[in-house]
Amino acid sequence: MGFFINIFMEMNSKIVLTGAKCTASFMERCIIYIGENASECVKTNAFLNLKKEALIKLISSDYFCLEEEDVWRCVLAWAKNHAGVTQPTAHWTEEERVRVCQQLAGVMSHVRLLLIDSQVFAEEVEPTGAVPMELSLERYRYAALQHSNKIPYSGAGGGSNGSVGFVTSNCNSMNETDKRLQPRLTVNMFPGSQILKNDKLHLQGVLNNWYGVTKQIWRLLYRASTHGFSPTAFHRYCDGVAPCFVICLGLHSEISGGFTDVAWSKTSRKGVYIHSERAFLFTISNKISETPLKFDVVKKPYAICYHPDCGPIFGAGADLLIANNCNTTKDSYSNLPHSYDGPGASYESLFGDYNFTITDYEVYTLASPFGAANMINSPSTSGSNPKSNSLTNSTNGLNPNISNSSSLANANALNTSNVINSGNNSTVGFAKAKYDRY
């Protein structure tokens, strides 16, 4: 990490001296990379030795992934290093205090002090003497108004990072566009993603908001461009694991996919539908809708489908089917709305057309803080299912049992009048669809 910070420092110096646009572009990528790995970056000597201009560029970014209290702490550590001060704040001499404050001059305005917890502000920030009196008074006024007249507001990116703050109608100088009130994306919640990164990083929070745990961390199970675009590769790495997010990148940079709280499970039959209470489809970046859209499962017995000749399948439409070699063909398709529905639902909602090409897709599951059973790294073996999801599901209030399944014929349009109920299983008859698909 220190290596990237050193490159960043060198690029920053070149920009100051030459104003080169190509250098500036490269430096922006460095800022994003360092920001995504901020928790490791701030521990390095390279960070402590940054020039002030470079530090300001880093901490001004919305993607410097730390809680604001920790942004303050790393800035203070930087200032103490440059001032040659090693003692805690309470033991500073007046001369040491002056030196630290000199280093912090011009930096404090880039720390979002209004977002720092009041107790932390009183115990750690204010005693340094680095906060101008007018800003300190504004901080306490904001805290008082926040307490007496709370109005929730969404943070940076329209609240998509999962953070919630408050503004007040009484405080005219503070509003949703005030950057000091906009929380940073504090955690890279889908680490390693090649789709939800850089300027798409904030979309991770949209998915977590829909999942219901705003700061849930996920673990990469499978990436088609790494593990292969075949259904065999998908099932090898993903069968038997739940919950899962399937995140797909379209040919025109659309980002859509699905969530399931139940696993794809191999059976002796060619294709099987699996019941889910919580599955949904989504689109979070496309040319059709300016805002993310979520489509809940409405025909729950047909939420997802296992088929050995296809990648992930959602719905009996199928509402979303990822085909073999989806990166080189247009065999993938969406017949939304069918088993999934919601405002804005149509076959164009996900990737702009009925048939489409998927350039890459990723599957993520929980990175459980309890070391749950779905944290197994090895792919599932042929004919067996070694990965258990029971602990993960039980700790998240999900039902790990598959309560309904349905046989899948070679047509994709479900004729609901032909459903014959038998115990917990539903054998399904089919009408011929316009497109002959699984």
Residue 191 scores a pLDDT above 80 = yes
Residue 157 scores a pLDDT above 70 = no
> How high is the pLDDT of residue 229?
98
Distance (Å) of CA 375 to CA 5, 242, 281: 32, 11, 24
Residue 407, strand partner residues:
272
Same domain, 213 and 323: yes
Per-residue confidence band for 436, with pLDDT thresholds at 50, 70 and 90? very low
User: Does residue 154 belong to any structural domain of this protein?
Assistant: no
Per-residue confidence band for 381, with pLDDT thresholds at 50, 70 and 90? very low
User: Does residue 345 belong to any structural domain of this protein?
Assistant: yes
pLDDT more than 90, % of the chain: 48
Same domain, 205 and 353: yes
Residue that is last in its domain, among 148, 183, 211: 148
Same domain, 35 and 137: yes
User: Does residue 357 belong to any structural domain of this protein?
Assistant: yes
| Structure-model confidence comparison of residues 280 and 171, the more confident one | 280
Same domain, 5 and 134: yes
Mean pLDDT calculated for residue range 190-195: 92
Residue type for position 333: Y
* Helix (H) or strand (E) segment spanning residue 159: none
| Residue indicated by tokens 């919630």 | 164
Which range among 128-142, 271-285, 310-324 shows the weakest confidence by mean pLDDT? 128-142
Residue 382 scores a pLDDT above 70 = no
Assess contact for 400 and 242: CB atoms under 8 A: yes
Same domain, 144 and 259: no
Which of 221, 290, 303, 194 is CA-nearest to residue 259? 303
Mean pLDDT calculated for residue range 278-305: 94
Same domain, 214 and 131: no
The domain tally of the chain equals: 2
Residue 90's domain comprises 1-148
> How high is the pLDDT of residue 148?
62
47 vs 3: CA distance, rounded Å: 10
pLDDT tens-place string over residues 83-104: 999 999 999 999 999 999 999 9
Range with the largest mean pLDDT of 25-34, 106-115, 380-389 = 106-115
436 vs 318: CA distance, rounded Å: 11
Same domain, 106 and 222: no
Same domain, 261 and 333: yes
Same domain, 113 and 257: no
Same domain, 325 and 267: yes
Same domain, 240 and 351: yes
Residue that is last in its domain, among 366, 384, 415: 366
> How high is the pLDDT of residue 105?
93
User: Does residue 96 belong to any structural domain of this protein?
Assistant: yes
> How high is the pLDDT of residue 5?
52
User: Does residue 155 belong to any structural domain of this protein?
Assistant: no
Q: Which tokens belong to 47?
A: 């960070």
Rg (CA), the chain: 26
pTM strictly above 0.85: no
113 vs 411: CA distance, rounded Å: 59
Assess contact for 30 and 4: CB atoms under 8 A: yes
Per-residue confidence band for 146, with pLDDT thresholds at 50, 70 and 90? low
Q: Which tokens belong to 160?
A: 């998509």
| Structure-model confidence comparison of residues 163 and 70, the more confident one | 70
User: Does residue 61 belong to any structural domain of this protein?
Assistant: yes
Same domain, 143 and 237: no
> How high is the pLDDT of residue 6?
55
Residue 364, strand partner residues:
220, 245
Q: Work out whether the CA dihedral 75, 81, 87, 91 comes out positive or negative.
A: negative
| Residue indicated by tokens 């011929």 | 432
pLDDT tens-place string over residues 234-244: 999 999 999 99
pLDDT tens-place string over residues 206-239: 999 999 988 898 999 999 999 999 999 999 999 9
> How high is the pLDDT of residue 8?
52
Assess contact for 258 and 281: CB atoms under 8 A: yes
User: Does residue 220 belong to any structural domain of this protein?
Assistant: yes
| Structure-model confidence comparison of residues 128 and 199, the more confident one | 128
| Structure-model confidence comparison of residues 173 and 327, the more confident one | 327
Assess contact for 324 and 371: CB atoms under 8 A: no
Mean pLDDT calculated for residue range 379-384: 41
| Structure-model confidence comparison of residues 132 and 305, the more confident one | 305
**Helices (H) and strands (E) in the chain — how many of each?**
13, 20
User: Does residue 396 belong to any structural domain of this protein?
Assistant: no
Residue that is last in its domain, among 342, 366, 390: 366
